[in-house]
Amino acid sequence: MISTAAPTQQAIQMTVEASAEAQRLDRWLATALPDRSRSEVQRWIKEGLVVVNGTVAKPSHKLETGMVVQIRMPIQPAESDLQAEALPITIIYEDDDLLVIDKAAGMVVHPAPGHQGGTLVNAVLHHCPQIEGVGGERRPGIVHRLDKETSGLIIVAKNDRAHRYLQAQFKNRTVFKEYLALVEGHIEPAQARIVAPIGRHPSDRLRQAILPADQGRSAVTEYRVVGYYSLPVRSNNASANFSLLSVLLHTGRTHQIRVHLAWRKHSVVGDTLYGYRKPRLPIERHFLHAHHLRFRLPSTGEEQEFMAPLPPELQKVLDMFIKDYKDY
């Protein structure tokens, strides 16, 4: 059977000429591909889509004459591919500039290869069609992202002015972002800051990993134990231990919380990518929820905060436990 699905990537190969000697890879590609932005090129490189002489390279890689650069360039979906869909979304707040949405687990934020419909963008386009084109055609209105299986608060801008204003807050790290995460084991100490660079896993494109400082991007995660929990294990008369954490993000790397906590040997419950392949609790998603956001409104400059309670499927997991330490 021959597949008729549209390709999602285009393979390109180029040879570095003498005029590009000693240039940065990202700058050279942005010049060589004038219809693509430098930020887009940098994203391809960080996602492992650009190979120099057979090796995945960094954006700052210095070019030499004769080097062979191979790119698996993502094919941009046409504007008409973005369709408004009447999908259920929970709107926490709305004004003329933005929406604050409590995203359900299982919903992808924006269209991408394999997820051209059923996304948060499709739902928001139905609710407010004026966001089409805001901040870019492929991800209209999107200021920041949540993983597919992460629930909770996300901001969507309604106009370009608000989009720029909100993006600047994220870039300057003035947005307060708190998550609730249930992790494996009793984590110690009860409060700590994790500082470890993160980048694309060298051999698995689906995963991120802790990398040396010169290879990864700086990443800072702070956590505080909200409560320790135990569940009896009948087979050996012991207990399975878990910790509920309040987690603050000081940077916004892909899968940051999940990677940092797994690196500390306390993976997020239900995270089959970085933790147990088979969840030890009856859960069909990872236990990570964007619980609390605080930022300045574009309209007034005033600081506002929003909170979203745990969704029922996560609260049900907590209700199973015997808490053996009082809350901090």
pLDDT in tens, 278-303: 888 889 999 999 999 999 999 999 99
Q: What is the mean pLDDT of residues 83-104?
A: 94
The rounded distance, in Å, linking the Cα atoms of 40 and 46 is 10
9-74, CATH topology level: 3.10.290
pLDDT value of residue 117: 83
H helices of the chain, in order, are 25-32, 38-46, 120-127, 160-171, 256-263, 312-318
At residue 321 the predicted structure's pLDDT band, cuts being 50, 70 and 90, is: confident
- 147 given a catalytic annotation: yes
* pLDDT at residue 252 greater than cutoff 60: yes
pTM of the entire predicted model: 0.73
User: Which is more confidently placed, 75 or 313?
Assistant: 313
Using alpha carbons, select from 43, 99, 94, 91 the residue that is nearest to residue 71.
43
The architecture in CATH of the region 81-171 reads 2-Layer Sandwich (3.30)
Provide the pairing of β-strand 151-157 with 288-296: parallel
pLDDT value of residue 130: 87
Q: What is the pLDDT of residues 257-283, one digit of tens each?
A: 999 999 999 999 999 999 998 888 889
DSSP 24-74: BHHHHHHHHSTTS-HHHHHHHHHTT-EEETTEE--TTPBP-TT-EEEEEEE
176-323, CATH topology level: Pseudouridine synthase (3.30.2350)
Query: Of 147, 204, 271, 319, which one is the catalytic site residue?
Result: 147
pLDDT value of residue 53: 92
Under 8 Å between Cβ of 221 and 256: yes
Calculate the CA 46 to chain-centre distance.
14
Domain ranges of the chain: 9-74, 81-171, 176-323
pLDDT value of residue 8: 58
Under 8 Å CB-to-CB from 112, ≥6 apart: which residues?
Answer: none
Q: Identical fold at 9-74 and 176-323?
A: no
Q: What is the pLDDT of residues 146-202, one digit of tens each?
A: 999 999 999 999 998 999 999 999 989 999 999 999 999 999 999 999 999 999 898
Under 8 Å between Cβ of 254 and 229: no
* pLDDT at residue 7 greater than cutoff 80: no
* pLDDT at residue 215 greater than cutoff 90: no
